[in-house]
Amino acid sequence: MAVWSSVQLSALSGFRLDAEYYTPQNLRAERAVKRFEGGSSPLSEIADIITDGDHLARDFQESGVLFLTSEHFGEFTINYDSGLYISPTYEQTLARARSEPGAIYLTKTGAHYGKAAVCPPNSPTFNISADVAKIRLKPGGDPYFVALYLNTRLGFSLVRRESTGGTRDRIVLENLRTLRIPNPPSGAQFKKLVERIWVRQSDAHSAIAAAEARLMEALGLDQLDLSPQKTYTRRFKDLQAEARFDAEYFNPKYQRVIKKLRSSGLTLADVAPISQRVFNPTMRERGSTFNYIEIGSLTGDGEADAESLDVADAPSRAKWIVQRSDVITSTVRPIRSLSALIRPEQNGFVCSSGFAVLTPKSGAGGIEPEVLLTYLRLPIICELLDLNCTASMYPAIPEDRLMRVPFVVPDLRTRRAVVEKVRQSIEARREAARLLEHAKKTVEDLIAGGQKRR
């Protein structure tokens, strides 16, 4: 397949002289849209709002208005578990970017920039950062068709084609406004296709939530007083015993949790030690590819998507080889609850150095990977992990501290229930992914089948 193009000077688009803009894939996508019998329109003509979110530094709070960044959006997915909140007063200054049911949210930067999601009708109120674009169509517009198109191979190519930047690609709003969108056929039912996807995504999220609630109950954490205290005292010998002198660590809320978990005498190292299978791209065949999982690849339901990369393009952070049933957890800002279970078909994939790869032990002294995943995703456990982070600008938990985090093996009945719920979630998410691919193909086939004859 050709990887080069010849373009006449008269066919150059504006001031774009970069070769990537005219790749064969981009030119094929451009021709397909131009030849579409139904015609097309610039995004600026069918939308009454094309904006982005907050460009300023933010003072996050423990509560307030939910704040989402590019890592919380994917193809028709919005992860509301960001743990980030801004004050209602400050949020009023960002009203243009406030969530609206039916609005399209497109990631402008990040690992998977160019992915689109529609805000569902039951969405909680949120606001967004500058690395996310908000698109509200004019009355009568079909956001479901537009978002599906943007996520197809055709739309995704043309969206990314408009990116700029040297060290970090980003989509500029001015370029996004000129993007041509095929006109949807009248009477089409793309909303129904998307609603089926949302149902299965909701099923996946509900199953994971049920697993977490069951585990919290089994560990007795649901009965603890988890309200923080503003003032408290500790004896100096307590500080010496823990080798910690930070006040937050000794908050009675966390000390109650730590005491409860330490009663088992086990730590993560006892049930799921770290595996370090180093990935060396220089040892791979030239021209071959590998599947890469990075922080932005994780979903909100404990799974990881992956991107196929050429070994020549392997980022420096592509470090660890994962195997089926491993559980990977982000060591960077663990408060975000970014952990995932490696599925059988992901055996041999490569993940970022920002993850710790945990391999659950089997047998009487081990733990099921689904239970480990659920444990690491519990909000209170994520808070404990965050307490063990070092640095401030780029907080991360060192691996030795991670391995010392206390662990309680729940009873067999609870473990079986948790495993069942996690597997239900995985199956629901697979079905949602299948429905999404079907919907995208429906749009692609519509455009391909509606080509004008030359």
Encoding tokens for residue 368? 């099921």
CATH fold match for the domains 42-183 and 206-422: yes
Interatomic CA distance for residues 385 and 391, integer angstroms: 14
Say what the pLDDT of residue 363 is: 85
Give the global pTM: 0.85
Sequence spans of domains, the chain:
42-183, 206-422
Say what the pLDDT of residue 99 is: 96
Say what the pLDDT of residue 146 is: 96
Say what the pLDDT of residue 398 is: 93
What 3 state SS string does the chain have?
A: CCCCCCCCHHHCCCCCCCHHHHCHHHHHHHHHHHCECCCEEEHHHHEEEEEECECCCCCCECCCEEEECHHHEECCEECCCCCCEECHHHHHCCHHHCCCCCCEEEECCCCCCCCEEECCCCCCCEEEECCEEEEEECCCCCHHHHHHHHHCHHHHHHHHHCEECCCCCEECHHHHHCCEEECCCCCCCHHHHHHHHHHHHHHHHHHHHHHHHHHHHHHCHHHCCCCCCCCCCCCHHHHHHHCCCCHHHHCHHHHHHHHHHHCCCEEHHHHCCECCCECCHHHCCCCCEEEEECHHHECCCCCECCEEEEHHHCCCCEEEECCCCCEEEECECHHHCCEEECCHHHCCCEEECCEEEECCCCCCCCCCHHHHHHHHHCHHHHHHHHHCCECCCCCECCHHHHHCCEECCCCHHHHHHHHHHHHHHHHHHHHHHHHHHHHHHHHHHHHHHCECCC
Say what the pLDDT of residue 450 is: 66
Interatomic CA distance for residues 182 and 174, integer angstroms: 19
**Residues contacting 348, CB < 8 A, separation 6+:** 291, 321, 322, 323
Question: Could you tell me the fold of the domain covering 42-183?
Answer: Adenine-n6-DNA-methyltransferase TaqI; Chain A, domain 2 (3.90.220)
pLDDT one digit per residue (tens) for the chain, 454 residues = 345 556 555 555 556 656 566 677 777 877 888 888 888 999 999 999 999 999 886 788 888 999 999 888 989 999 888 878 999 999 999 999 999 999 999 999 876 789 999 999 999 999 999 999 999 999 999 999 999 999 999 988 888 887 776 667 788 899 899 999 999 887 778 999 999 999 999 999 999 999 999 999 999 999 998 888 889 999 999 889 888 888 888 999 999 999 999 999 999 999 999 999 999 999 999 889 999 999 878 877 888 888 899 999 899 999 999 999 999 999 998 888 889 999 999 999 999 999 999 999 998 889 999 999 999 999 999 999 999 998 777 789 999 999 999 999 999 999 999 999 999 999 999 999 999 999 999 999 998 886 665 4
CATH number 2.60.40.10 is the correct assignment for the domain at 206-422: no
Say what the pLDDT of residue 409 is: 95
